[in-house]
Amino acid sequence: MAEKREQFRSRLGFVLAAAGSAVGIGNLVGFPVNAAKSGGAAFLILYAAFVVFICIPVMIAEMSLGRKTQRNPLGAYKAVAGDSSAWRFGGWLSLITPFMIAVFYQVLTVWLLGYFIGAVSGNLEAMSAEGYFGEFINANGVFIYLGVLTLVIGIVLKSGVQNGIERLAKVLMPSLAIMLIALTIFVLTLPNALIGVKYYLVPDFSKINLSTINLALSQAFFSLSLGMGILITYGSYISKRESVAGGAKMVALVDTCVAFFAGLLIFPAIFEFNPAIDTENLSSSSVSLVFTFLPKIFLSLQGLIGYVGASIFASAFFLLVFFAAITSQVSILQVPISAFQDELKYTRLKSVLMLGACAALLVIASMVSFGRIEFFSEFLAYGGKVNSFFDLIYDVFYETILPLNGFIVCLFVTYRWRKSNLDKELITGDEGYDGSFTQRYVNFALSTFVPAILLFVFVSTVLMKFFGISVL
């Protein structure tokens, strides 16, 4: 017997939950790295423009579709287009994508939990040593962390939208914001901090090119959880009394503010470690920066605040990123759970257990693909090199497929569901939307340049990632 569909208790609950899904490692590490490598404030300006003019219309479309149909992505496409429609491909893609991203994210969250425990235990010096990360990810202890994390996430998901996801977001998101601000204030007091702030905030427009523009758009699109089915699913839990457009704007604002403050935290710390550092040599990989480079930076702070102080700072940082990762993980997993409930009529408990069983083998396969088992470590060759099973999941479902999902959503909402129906849904709970500039702009953007840009990003990413062909 299917359970009655829940709703978020308030707009604040929805905004914090949706922001929790958006705020993750990409915001806290990837964003400031990309900004520093791509013109500092010039990149920030591009990023903000893409959030406002491209991402918010797509967010509004996804959330509106979810609230109208009261379904998961697969059910939403089915409700509008029917059982036999080819449009259901978009629903399946929006369902499979978050499930596979959850596999990738589960591995990263396990590592973050391990690094947090290591920092709290006073092992910062060992964590900063060459080769530690490779040894850590292949140690048997990671499977213990996996078991603990799986249990915690399962309990949250079993508790439901209101008592699980919304309650978690209301605790962790304010905690994340307080920790981020506190750590940023501390870092800005360090002797060389202003060098990093200058590098981060002074625009260098000479570094802006087509590649940088593409990077800024991708960062904005990915950081807001677009194309993952999350916002369609979360939209299905929004009350008809709430403004969808207003909620989308608030989520975008919170997500962008976190990314901005993360830059004020990361780069002063990096320049304190080495004032003469060449940012071009910084890894573009968030994973590499978090687990191999930042521990060295934290250890270098012991000259100023002592080893205990450096360990406390490192512990706070890894707890901060862990909070961001676990809120994202819970949000991502809600998508397939909603599908189990809506389409298969499973109870929430059965949905959680089935999801865990389906994901377990894939997560374990990913965790052993770093040299432990050769079959998974050398899983598939593409892009001129041999890639692991973990690499394949990351490249396909995190770096490639999201713009395609966004492209399909734009076409579906505009040409199958129709703009008139989109308008009706958005006016519900927000009478001021009718005739507003936002209404006119969203309708124009979704039917013209936004899908064209997303299609270009998808095609160019596929050509570069899998065939080594650059179109820029």
Q: What is the DSSP string of 193-214?
A: HHHHHHHHHS--GGG-SHHHHH
> What are 44-87's pLDDT values in tens digits?
899 999 999 999 999 999 999 999 999 999 999 999 998 767 89
Q: Exposed, middle or buried: residue 332 (CB in 10 Å: 0-12, 13-18, 19+)?
A: buried
pLDDT value at position 49? Answer: 93
> To 10 degrees, what angle do helices 56-69 and 73-81 make?
70
What whole-number distance in Å separates Cα of residue 97 and Cα of residue 95?
A: 6
Residues forming beta bridges with residue 380, ordered by sequence position? 387
**pLDDT of 283 higher than 60:** no
DSSP three-state, residue 179: helix
CA distances to 295, 318, 366 from 115, in Å = 9, 7, 18
What whole-number distance in Å separates Cα of residue 243 and Cα of residue 103?
A: 32
Mean of the per-residue pLDDT values of the chain: 88
> What are 380-433's pLDDT values in tens digits?
999 889 999 999 998 998 888 988 999 999 999 999 999 999 999 999 999 999
Q: Which domains does the chain have, with CATH numbers?
A: 11-467 (1.10.4160)
Q: Report pTM.
A: 0.89
> What are 339-369's pLDDT values in tens digits?
998 888 899 899 999 998 888 899 999 999 9
Q: Name the residue among 232, 258, 231 with its Cα closest to residue 29.
A: 258
Over residues 326-347, the mean pLDDT reads 89
Lookup: tokens for 183: 């750590």
At 215, the pLDDT band (50, 70, 90 cuts) reads confident
What whole-number distance in Å separates Cα of residue 114 and Cα of residue 329?
A: 16
pLDDT value at position 389? Answer: 97
pLDDT value at position 285? Answer: 58
> What are 89-134's pLDDT values in tens digits?
999 999 999 999 999 889 999 999 999 999 999 999 999 998 999 9
**pLDDT of 255 higher than 80:** yes
